[in-house]
Amino acid sequence: MKAVILAAGKGSRLFPVTKAIAKPLLPLANRMTMEYAFDQLKACGITEICVVVGENEQEMRSALGDGSAFGVELSFAVQDKPLGLAHAVGCAEEFCGGESFALYLGDAIYSGPLAPHVAAFEASDAASLLLVKEVDDPRRFGVANLDGEKIVKLVEKPQNPESNWALAGFYVFGPEIWSGVHRVKPSARGELEITDAIQILIEDGLTVLPGKFTDDWYDSGTLDSFLTVSKAVTGGKNVIAPDAQIDAEIGSNVVVGAGAKVSCSLLQNTVCLPGANITVNGAITGCLLGGEVTSDEGLEDQILWGDLT
């Protein structure tokens, strides 16, 4: 089986940070976000991967190369316009070559394994298996209606959800999906929705299974969620990337972009990207620090790496 990772988005919800570094390359616990996707796919036995990129193509190619540094074999496909997830998937059709494949949304992070869901799909005769998770407010997601152990209806970001099963950013498809991708029409949002493409398969009478996910699932695409997942993957601490120069305090819930120069009074629960220049006059608490770091009140309760003073 092959895999496709969607990583063409501009990361507008993380502006201005993503003007300096592509969202899939942002550091989580001193590893680029994309590496967590590679880890999950390798655990599924999948090493042949196509990364769908957009305006970030050159930056992504430069950072990822042929994938050998990460134990995978990478190809790239370019989505020239942001026309929706179904359109992005379609950019990788030639790569998939009529085989079954896993689809991974590039900003998703999971605390548990995905391999059992891939195995469940392979043991079935289904056209697709969709990772789903129960959430308190499903209005922000694609939502799946279940009838027993089948998905019978999909709706993208409904205002009045009929279910609390949210699509959780990971899909396994047989080649039947291309029929849906080719026939899907733009939604009310003007996008070619992957949920609509899968709904076409359901209406054609094909089986779509739910892969019920009970571990933690994070979308790292917003500032708040990026800070949350940073804390999760570092055991409750946040990340300050290598090369950040700190001689100050910064308020909590902050991501400091490359090249930024900040002077403030508290550094707490903060992500600082490479090249940031921060002046701190007091304590640094609850952070993961890298690069050259100094503090007037010491470095307690930290996870540290790099050259520290």
DSSP-assigned states of every residue in 147-196: ETTEEEEEEES-SS-S--EEEEEEEEE-TTHHHHHHH----TTSS--HHH
From first CA to last CA, the distance across the chain in angstroms is 48
At residue 279, the pLDDT reads 72
What token pair was written down for 102?
């896993």
Selection from 59, 38, 37 nearest residue 47 by Cα: 38
pLDDT at 265: 73
pLDDT of residue 9: 81
User: Which pLDDT does position 169 carry in this prediction?
Assistant: 95
Give every CB contact of residue 43 below 8 A, 6+ residues apart in sequence: 113, 114, 115
pLDDT at res. 159: 92
DSSP calls for 216-283: -EEETTSHHHHHHHHHHHTTS-EEB-TT-EE-SB--SSEEE-TT-EEEEB-EESEEE-TT-EEEESS-
Domains and CATH numbers, the chain: 2-217 (3.90.550.10), 234-304 (no CATH)
The Cα–Cα gap between 160 and 162 comes to: 7
At residue 292, the pLDDT reads 54
Indicate left, alpha or beta for 39 from its phi (over 0: left) and psi (-120 to 50: alpha): alpha
Residue 268: per-residue pLDDT: 73
- pLDDT for residue 32: 87
pLDDT of residue 142: 93
Q: What is the pLDDT along the chain (309 residues), one digit of tens a residue?
A: 999 999 998 766 665 556 667 788 887 776 889 999 999 999 999 999 999 999 999 999 999 999 999 999 999 999 999 999 999 999 999 999 999 999 999 989 999 999 999 999 999 999 999 999 999 999 989 999 999 999 999 999 999 999 999 999 999 999 999 999 999 999 988 999 999 999 999 999 999 999 999 999 998 777 677 778 877 877 766 656 556 666 665 666 566 655 666 667 777 777 666 566 677 777 777 665 554 556 666 554 444 433 333
Q: Report how far residue 12's alpha carbon sits from residue 26's, in angstroms, rounded to the nearest whole number.
A: 14
Residue 131: phi, psi to the nearest 5? Answer: -70, 125
* Residue 276 confidence (pLDDT): 66
pLDDT at position 221: 74
